[in-house]
Chains A and B, each alone.
Chain A
Amino acid sequence: MNTVFAIASVTIKELYRRKDFYVLFVLSALITLMAEAGTFFHDDKIVRYLKELCLLLIWISALVIAVTTAARQIPAEREQRTIFPLLAKPVTRGQVIAGKSLGCWLAAGLALVVFYLFLIAVCGSREHAWPLLNYLQAAWLQWMFLGVVIAMAVLGSIVFAAPSSNATILFVVVIGILLLGGHLNQVALERPEPMRSVLYAIYFIIPHLEWFDVRALVIHDQSLIAWWAVAAASAYAIVYAVLFLFAAWLAFRRKALNT
């Protein structure tokens, strides 16, 4: 386990050494603050549009950070030939997968903490209310979502040829699931067989990432999500993340490293 954490710590350090996080944070902050500076109909108490904008930027930024970081971990090690001394430590291939994924996930979590603190500060200064538990639930669920996405990215980094193609495919898949995943059963029922069965099978197999997008509940000041539901969704995310990482390990075991 120490080995896994050691590899993870290197990945975390990479987050604050590279400029991706700072650029995305500054950009998000600037856009949010510009939106906050304006008033509509001389009313400076309107806050929901600001929450929506800020949360959208947080989701986009966190997704970009998670996918780009995770997608390049294994390919970068192979390109720079640092995978060989790493595996000679001795570190198993499974530990490399686990360490890289854990590092990306913890790094994404750190980024989320900074983003959400900014959100709380900006929105709290306007609405003079701090529904901290709502923000906590939203941040936690988003972190769980990123765990699944990172696991998918690590699997993709072994299966696909280049980080760019991996990242592109992953963005398309994730956005597709977020937009359509919850409605696939409805679409399936409107189709004739065999397409109905195919769509329904896809509906049950895909990870339902749209559960983790609870921005609307935060924006519209809805009540807290039941804690049992949050726990169940977290367990669901962990299961899927482990499945993807297991698949990544199976693929990585058989992969030649010098090509």
Chain B
Amino acid sequence: MPAPGYILALLLAAGATLATWLQPRASMWSSARANSGNLLNIVMGDARRMFADHFFTKADVYFHSGYYPSIFDQGRTNEVHIAEQAGTDVAAGHEGHDHSEPGHQHDASCQHDHAPAAASEPEHVHSAGCQHEPHEHEYLKPPRDWIEAFGRNFFNTKHTELTGAGAHEILPWLRVAAELDPQRVETYTVAAFWLRGEMKRPQDAEAFLRDGQRANPDSAEILLELGQLYRDNYKDVARARNLLALADRKMDAQEKKTGELDLPLKRRILVSLSRLEEAEGNFTAASQHLQKLHDALPPENPGPRHELEKQIAELMQKSRGK
């Protein structure tokens, strides 16, 4: 048997040879992972998106102070209430409101800005003064047995919503969701909506939206939200117009690239632009934006198109009268 020293030397030489052969290949494997981002991405992989969704829903649970359907409850839908409410403008009242939504009623204190709804508009927003009948957000049915009835003493059974500064309790979960999945655009727009609206912190909203913009440079939703922030909170019409116009261009580019049209988002952008121009007295420009929206609406749904035609005609009349 050869001396153990020679065996050891042979093994060392073989190890060094393998390492030299493997090292350039290993650096190719790890560079793909390194390009995908930070330690969190590398450790968690695609599971981080699942966690991001969970924490986004957690923010909604906090918004309702724990009153939330479980996965077993029939009333559970995929809609997240804080996202519903962030679907449109706060200041302008309603845009994109579907009056055909069953069980939805509200009194005259609600502000409505009746831009025509898209064919199917799941978004639902109401101004602070709205009172409405409870509808799909009430998920608890009468208890089936005494165990279920007694168990209701130990969790929240009332539908409530955080308001004003109290809504800040949802922010940590939105921040964590954004950290885990920076490409989830909805996180930024929803957080910004609540920050600049209920919590009256537009600077924090802008900073968060800018973070989202860096992670998603082509996102029209983030640009729309930024435009609304500049319009409603900073009253900077010029910058708002630029941001909304950029959002429109991003949408057009996206539509050309994928061949798919996000009609609710396009409607929100063009209606926002139109309202902004109308408020500035630029009726011609306002009508042009509505005309663009009119051309994008599906012809098989004539109701909204007729409504738009009426509004365009009104704007043209105002423009001539000017």
Contacts and interface: CB of A to CB of B under 8 A. Distances in A.
Contact of A185 (B147, B155, B208): B147
Interface in A201-249: 203-204, 208, 210-214, 216-217, 219-222, 225-226, 229, 232-233
B150 A232 contact: yes
A233 to B, nearest CB: 7
In the A-B complex, list the 8 residue pairs whose CB atoms are closest, starting with the nearest. Answer: A220-B65, A216-B66, A229-B153, A183-B72, A49-B172, A48-B169, A220-B66, A40-B172
A202 to B, nearest CB: 12
Contacts, number: 77
B173 interface: yes
B172 to A, nearest CB: 4
Contact of B156 (A46, A47, A141, A216): A216
B153 A46 contact: no
B220 to A, nearest CB: 24
Interface in B281-298: none
Interface in A23-54: 40-43, 45-49
A125 B154 CA distance: 26
Given A185-B145, A222-B156, A211 B150 contact: yes
Contacts of A216: 66, 155-156
B119 interface: no
B72 A186 contact: yes
Given A43-B168, A217-B154, 9 more contacts: A46-B169, A47-B169, A141-B154, A185-B147, A208-B147, A212-B154, A216-B155, A220-B62, A226-B153
Nearest to A47: B169
A163 to B, nearest CB: 31
Contacts of B260: none
Given A41-B195, A208-B151, A185 B172 contact: no
B171 A40 contact: yes
A41 B208 contact: yes
A6 interface: no
Interface of A is mostly: helix
Most chain-B CB neighbours within 10 Å: which of A48, A141, A187? A48
Contacts of B151: 182, 208, 210-211
Contacts of A221: 65
A189 interface: yes
Interface of A: 40-43, 45-49, 141, 182-183, 185-187, 189, 203-204, 208, 210-214, 216-217, 219-222, 225-226, 229, 232-233
B148 interface: yes
Given A182-B148, A186-B72, A42 B66 contact: no
B147 A203 contact: yes
B156 A220 contact: yes
B27 interface: no
B239 interface: no
Contacts of B195: 41
Nearest to A187: B72
Interface in B44-64: 62
Contacts of B121: none
Interface of B is mostly: helix
B144 A189 contact: yes
Nearest to A50: B172
B175 interface: yes
B184 interface: no
B70 interface: yes
B292 to A, nearest CB: 36
A46 B171 contact: yes
B235 to A, nearest CB: 22
Contacts of A43: 168, 171
A213 B204 CA distance: 35
A185 B143 CA distance: 10
B168 A46 contact: yes
A186 B172 CA distance: 33
Contacts of B72: 183, 186-187
B250 interface: no
Contacts of A189: 144
Contact of B154 (A49, A187, A203, A214): A214
Contacts of A220: 62, 65-66, 156
A217 B156 contact: yes
Interface string B9-26: 000000000000000000
A214 B155 contact: yes
Given A41-B171, A214-B155, A225-B154, A48 B144 contact: no
A41 B66 contact: no
Nearest to A39: B172
A212 B72 CA distance: 20
Contacts of B208: 41
A185 B144 contact: yes
Most chain-A CB neighbours within 10 Å: which of B148, B153, B171? B153
A219 B173 CA distance: 14
A46 B166 CA distance: 9
Nearest to A220: B65
A189 B171 CA distance: 38
Nearest to A188: B144
Contacts of A225: 153-154
18 contacts: A40-B171, A42-B204, A43-B168, A48-B169, A185-B147, A185-B148, A186-B144, A187-B72, A204-B147, A208-B147, A211-B151, A211-B154, A213-B154, A217-B154, A217-B156, A220-B66, A229-B153, A233-B154
